[in-house]
Each structure stands twice: as C-alpha cells, then as structure tokens.
Amino acid sequence: AQTVTQSQPEMSVQEAETVTLSCTYDTSESDYYLFWYKQPPSRQMILVIRQEAYKQQNATENRFSVNFQKAAKSFSLKISDSQLGDAAMYFCAYRGAQKLVFGQGTRLTINP
C-alpha cells in the first residue's frame, strides 16, 4: 500500500522568507501523481501544486515550487516570499491507480 509521510507537524517562518515543507512517499508504482494541498482555517482544501511522476521538471506555481526527487521518493514544497495568507495546514498527497493518499499534514505559521 502507498504511504505518505510528512515528518514536520509544525513549521514557522518569518514573513517574506522562504520555507520548505518535506514529504516522502512509498510506492511500487511507476505512474503516479503528487499534490500539495493547503487547508486554511476555513477548512476548505485548496490545490496548491501538482506534479506528474513522469515529468522530470519540477512544477512551479508563482511563489510555490516543488523539489521532486523520484528515486528518493521525496516531494518537498518551497514557498518563497512567505505571506501572512500562507498560514495554513499543508497536506502532501499521492495518487496512483485511483485512491488519493494524504500525509498527516504540516501546520505552517507565518511570523510578521
């Protein structure tokens, strides 16, 4: 079975600084997708960024980028120029065949 692990329950960063959230996963599949979701206090789940495993190029969405290391099964999220609105719970997720498997989440605090 696939597993997703986020080893940092909590992280904090100064506003305007850069922070990296870690995620590792375990799978025997070769074709899969990886995601980062943001869950603000409103509790809604917002897709931040997506990476297809067959693509070597790391995905980027404005201030958000990933470092995808397929051999190491690592998928970290880098947030540049952190803003107060980035404060949220962040979930890493994996999808192989059909199920979507989530990590435990990392609570990110932005210090003004």
Partner 1 sequence: EAQVTQNPRYLITVTGKKLTVTCSQNMNHEYMSWYRQDPGLGLRQIYYSMNVEVTDKGDVPEGYKVSRKEKRNFPLILESPSPNQTSLYFCASSLRPPGKTGGRGTQYFGPGTRLTVL
Residues that bind partner 1 (CB under 8 A): 4, 6, 9, 32-33, 35, 42-47, 50, 52, 91, 93, 95, 98-105
Give me 70's structure tokens: 């397929």
Cβ closest to partner 1, residue 52 vs residue 81:
52
Q: What is the largest CA-CA distance in the chain?
A: 42
Give whichever of 15 and 26 is closer to partner 1, judged by the CB atom.
Answer: 26
- The CB-of-75 to partner 1 minimum distance in angstroms stands at 13
Instruction: Pick between residue 17 and residue 52 the one whose CB is nearest to partner 1.
Output: 52
CB of 14 to partner 1, least distance (A): 27
Return d(Cα 69, Cα 99) in angstroms, integer: 22
* Rounded Cα–Cα distance for residues 94 and 33 (Å): 6
Token pair 């051999």: residue: 71
In the complex, what is the shortest distance from the CB of residue 108 to partner 1, in angstroms, rounded to a whole number? 15
Between 103 and 108, whose beta carbon lies closer to partner 1? 103
Exposure string over 81-101, b if 16+ CB within 10 A, otherwise e? ebeeebbbbbbbbbbbeeeeb
